[in-house]
């Protein structure tokens, strides 16, 4: 009798629970939690490990903050040291999502026996350059440096070798008429992006590549002379691309598609909202993550520089950098094709499916 009484109380309680659930689901007795579980279960993995970029908020970080990645979750595993290092960390399975300028991936593919079957594949554009978001090469206004030839025997700081800044500098020097021997006399040294302005103003270096909000902040401080920009040298491009291993994409197709969809939507959100709204959001992201960086630098943010819809990558952009590396002798003619670098197949904005 006691047993039956307990069962009766339990069933009465459950009846009241299902009544509430039924009212909340317009006549269906299927609890919302089951729908949520089904949504979560379609993804092969929910955690995406990545390295951050000090002083920057990446499109995928914005996507998570806006809720576009749910139920996926980004897992921060420290700061990276530039594109080439990010790709190396990706290859050794220390992170799931990396990224680099296209030149970094091209150089990596060129070092492999079969570039068409390389380990990595880029899945969406993450940064680019347009008229509002250029990378510039700067000298002190008081230095008297005004032309490529003035840089012979000088020191230029850049944030990584084998990627965007080095390609930009060497192309600028080449366009300025310097011979390969003269270009060799321009010394390139690694300077973290956050320290480049200070190194330039303290005359530790004679020139520096600056981009993003660190560039805008430095220019606003006055006293700098812009020698050239990447857009003046190469034209507008989607140049930095987010990358995963082919094994990750193969084993986690739904997760990969959700990740790209979220990033693409965040990129469009950043372009379709007022600048002050986007800047406030990015600054709040930086404040919340509590790393060693100054959130106020986000006040100088102008955009991700991605003109293409949803971060779509193009063969034209890829071929630009392939051709440049061929001229440097890093890549053999015909060795690398754009299809070796990236795929747009996970991007909802891709019309070529």
For residue 151, being part of any structural domain is answered with yes
Domain final residue pick, 234, 253, 271: 234
Number of domains the chain contains: 3
Omega before 264 cis (within 30°)?
Answer: no
| 327 within domain boundaries | yes
CA separation for the pair 216, 201 (Å, rounded): 15
- Residue 203 sits in the same domain as residue 221: yes
Q: Name the residue among 63, 227, 72 with its Cα closest to residue 136.
A: 227
- Using alpha carbons, select from 154, 186, 190 the residue that is nearest to residue 170: 186
254 shares a domain with 107: yes
As a whole number of angstroms, the distance between CA 346 and CA 317 comes to 19
Does 337 lie in the same domain as 246?
A: yes
Q: Are residues 92 and 116 in the same domain?
A: yes
pLDDT digits 0-9 by tens, 132-145: 899 999 999 999 99
Per the rule left: phi > 0, alpha: psi between -120 and 50, beta: everything else, 270 is alpha
CATH number at residue 178: 3.40.190.10
Q: Which residue has the tokens 């000090």?
A: 54
pTM, full prediction: 0.79
Q: Please report the pLDDT score of residue 212 as a whole number.
A: 86
Q: For the ranges 21-35, 97-111, 164-178, which has the lowest average pLDDT?
A: 21-35
Both 141 and 84 in one domain: the answer is no
Greater pLDDT, 225 or 22 = 225
- Domain shared by 334 and 246, yes or no: yes
Among 198, 214, 234, the domain boundary falls at 234
On whether residue 7 sits in a domain, the answer given is: no
Q: What is the DSSP track for 315-340?
A: HHHHHHHHHHHHHHTSS-TTT--HHH
Question: Which residue in 228, 215, 225 sits closest to 140, CA to CA?
Answer: 225
What confidence tens digit (pLDDT) does each residue in 216-247 have? 999 999 999 999 999 999 888 898 999 999 99
Domain boundary, last residue among 234, 254, 277: 234
Q: According to the model, what pLDDT value does residue 239 have?
A: 87
pLDDT at 213: 85
User: 157 near 207, Cβ under 8 Å?
Assistant: yes
117 with 142, same domain?
A: no
| Residue 189: domain span | 136-234
Whether 173 is covered by a domain: the verdict is: yes
Q: Tens of pLDDT along 87-110?
A: 999 999 999 999 988 988 999 999
């Amino acid at each position: 009798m006691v047993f039956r009484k307990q069962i009766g109380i339990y069933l009465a309680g459950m009846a009241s629970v299902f009544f509430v659930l039924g009212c909340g689901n317009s006549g269906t007795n299927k609890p919302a939690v089951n729908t949520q579980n089904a949504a979560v279960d379609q993804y092969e993995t929910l955690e995406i490990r990545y390295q951050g970029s000090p002083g920057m908020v990446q499109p995928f970080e914005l996507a998570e903050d806006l809720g576009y990645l749910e139920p996926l979750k980004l897992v921060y595993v420290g700061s990276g040291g530039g594109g080439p290092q990010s790709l190396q960390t990706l290859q050794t399975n220390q992170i799931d999502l990396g990224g680099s300028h296209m030149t970094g991936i091209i150089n990596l593919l060129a070092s492999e026996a079969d570039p068409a079957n390389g380990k990595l594949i880029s899945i969406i554009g993450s940064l680019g350059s347009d008229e509002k978001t250029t990378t510039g090469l700067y000298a002190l206004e008081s230095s008297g440096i005004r032309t490529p030839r003035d840089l012979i025997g000088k020191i230029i700081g850049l944030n990584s070798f084998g990627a965007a800044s080095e390609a930009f500098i060497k192309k600028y020097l080449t366009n300025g008429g310097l011979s390969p021997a003269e270009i060799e006399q321009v010394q390139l040294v690694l300077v973290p992006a956050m320290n480049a302005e200070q190194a330039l103003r303290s005359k530790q270096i004679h020139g520096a590549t600056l981009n993003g909000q660190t560039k805008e902040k430095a220019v606003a401080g006055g006293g700098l002379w812009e020698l050239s920009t990447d857009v003046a040298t190469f034209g507008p491009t989607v140049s930095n691309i987010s990358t995963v291993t082919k094994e990750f994409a193969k084993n986690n197709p739904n997760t990969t598609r959700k990740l790209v969809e979220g990033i693409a939507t965040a990129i469009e959100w950043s372009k379709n909202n007022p600048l002050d709204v986007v800047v406030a959001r990015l600054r709040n992201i930086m404040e919340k993550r509590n790393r060693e960086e100054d959130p106020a630098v986000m006040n100088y943010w102008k955009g991700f520089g991605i003109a293409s819809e949803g971060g779509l990558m193009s063969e034209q952009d890829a071929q630009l950098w392939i051709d440049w590396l061929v001229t440097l002798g890093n890549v053999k003619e015909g060795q690398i094709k754009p299809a070796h670098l990236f795929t747009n197949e996970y991007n909802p904005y891709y019309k070529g499916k």
